[in-house]
Amino acid sequence: MSIIAAPANRSNVSVWVAFILLILGTLGTYQVVSTNQALLFLIGGALGMTLYHASFGFTSSWRVFIKERRGRGLRAQMIMLSLAVLLFFPALGAGELFGNPVKGNVSPVSMSVMIGAFIFGIGMQLGGGCASGTLYTVGGGSARMIVTLVFFCLGSLIATSHIDWWFNLPHLAPISLVSSLGVAPALFINFVLFALIAAITVFAEKKRHGSLEIEPRSEYQGWKRFIRGPWPLIWGGIILTLLNFATLALAGRPWGVTSALAVWAAKSASFVGVDVASWAYWQQPGNAKALAESLWFDITSMMNFGIMIGALFAASLAGKFAPNFNIPKRSLVAAIVGGLLLGYGARLAYGCNIGAYFSGIASGSLHGWLWLVFAFIGNSVGVKLRPIFFPNEKPKHEQLTGC
């Protein structure tokens, strides 16, 4: 069996390492757990490749709009969400997909969501990525983002030590637009909101620049572009939606990221003698099970591992896997602070840009829209803080990447 080679100036070693890890991970998950779990691991790999090749970064898309009023990334997100609700709402309304029961990520509308999303938004800009962005840039070879990921996990763990206090702040019960209004009205409302946001970005971009940004041309076309990238943002949004829908079909719930990071940190803390199992959060049945079981059995963990390996595979095929461990001190501090804010905020907000925003809105959960508003406000604050940590960052239009 042949592997398509990376460009000539790049060793094929990392291509083969990523490919072998994908094969071993798939076979191991199949043997230890189930076929479904193995497929979910592969979906994680496909998510990682898609995120990397499309440079589908929520963080940079929001920063570029806030700073430069370029809305190409935000419009791609609206297209992604439009397709997502079109696929998800009928299945969630029926309560099943292909004969299997499914449920959405529907969480309370609360102060903790507002505060957590705001904190998470600041963390996105300082840490240099969102939840999915952190994972795929780590897989793609970013040494700095490893620091962000470590402190992302730590921030998640710290939040679980007293999360009940936040959850007991004023809140409403979970509200599902699909259950409350029905599939068709919920679709109509969401489509109107997506169109309104896209229209605002078009108006703002034309007012600032006179015309809309054009998708950059790639030196590769056809299958070579598919293998080596970069992919158009629209491709990325559509593929991410289809993979999220496949996750719903196989796992019975949509794609999520950050619950696993809390599990990783809790297991690490337990290993060094911290009695996290006595904390109220880790005594809840689902969390206690995740803490006690092997990571092989945790869907979110295995998909996260798949994302990182898939991104490694994509970066290697593109000839761009070249880790750089020379991290400026201020940037390192930003990674630490940003990671802590990302982890802490995600737990307060019942999820991140994937679990709360993408999958939350795709699930018809009102808390997903609340998350979007307050995370965007947090990003605006984070953009103002970036010059403290990135003094040499150019004020010109930035490429849409995970960082």
**How much is the mean pLDDT over the chain?**
92
**Residue at 4 is within a domain:** no
Give the model confidence (pLDDT) of 332-368 as tens digits. 999 999 999 999 999 999 999 999 999 999 999 999 9
- Average of per-residue pLDDT across 311-319: 93
223 or 5: which leads in pLDDT: 223
Give the model confidence (pLDDT) of 279-304 as tens digits. 999 999 999 999 999 999 999 999 99
Give the model confidence (pLDDT) of 214-244 as tens digits. 887 777 777 877 887 789 999 999 999 999 9
% residues pLDDT > 70 (the chain): 95
The structural domain count of the chain equals 1
- Assign 402 a pLDDT band (cuts: 50, 70, 90): very low
- Assign 395 a pLDDT band (cuts: 50, 70, 90): low
Note the pLDDT of residue 398. Answer: 44
**Residue at 395 is within a domain:** no
DSSP per-residue codes, 68-127: H---HHHHHHHHHHHHHHHHHHHHHHHTEETTEE-------EEHHHHHHHHHHHHHHHHH
**Residue at 247 is within a domain:** yes
Give yes or no for residue 64 having a pLDDT over 80: yes
Identify the CA nearest to 48 among candidates 225, 232, 217, 243.
243
**Residue at 346 is within a domain:** yes
**Residue at 8 is within a domain:** no
Give the model confidence (pLDDT) of 135-161 as tens digits. 999 999 999 999 999 999 999 999 999
**Residue at 50 is within a domain:** yes
Joined together, the tokens standing for residue 119 give 């904190």
CA atoms of 220 and 214, how far apart (whole Å): 17
**Residue at 2 is within a domain:** no
Q: Which residue range forms the structural domain that includes residue 217?
A: 13-387
Identify the CA nearest to 292 among candidates 322, 324, 270.
270
DSSP-derived letter for residue 99 is: T
Give the model confidence (pLDDT) of 67-124 as tens digits. 999 999 999 999 999 999 999 999 999 999 998 999 999 999 999 999 999 999 999 9
**Residue at 398 is within a domain:** no
- Assign 11 a pLDDT band (cuts: 50, 70, 90): low
What distance separates the 2 farthest-apart alpha carbons in the chain? 60
Using CB atoms within 10 Å of the CB of residue 158, give its burial: 0 to 12 exposed, 13 to 18 middle, 19+ buried.
Answer: middle
